[in-house]
Amino acid sequence: MRGIEHNLAEFQADGILPVAISVDPADTSANLRSKKGYTFPFLSDPKAEIIRRYDLLQPADGPDGHDIARPAEFLVDRSGVVRWENFTEDFRVRPRADQLLAAARSLP
């Protein structure tokens, strides 16, 4: 997420709006966003409705045994169609911002 923040102007210039979604309560996400200095939107899905819709729920896999979202990135077009996706089992392994930008730029 740091890479996205550092390259946010480039994402925005390409018409891309990065958004983070987690099962964390809104205040937890807001605190993380503030602490890390992120300026793109963080959405809270405490009932995991969206996370389940994309089959990303990892039940009882959080630090205190609570449900978490499987790490994933999506590029979604303006009509809501997923045009690119990336999944990983390790939350520490994510595509770099330049890889996300390249993927977005390669889409029709």
Domain 2-102 has CATH 3.40.30.10: yes
pLDDT of residue 81: 85
Q: In 3D, which of 1, 8, 14, 3 has the Cα closest to residue 77?
A: 14
pLDDT in tens, 33-59: 999 999 999 999 989 999 899 888 888
What are residue 74's phi and psi, to 5 degrees? -130, 145
Give pTM, 2 decimals.
Answer: 0.77
Alpha helices in 1-96 (DSSP H): 2-6, 8-13, 26-36, 49-53
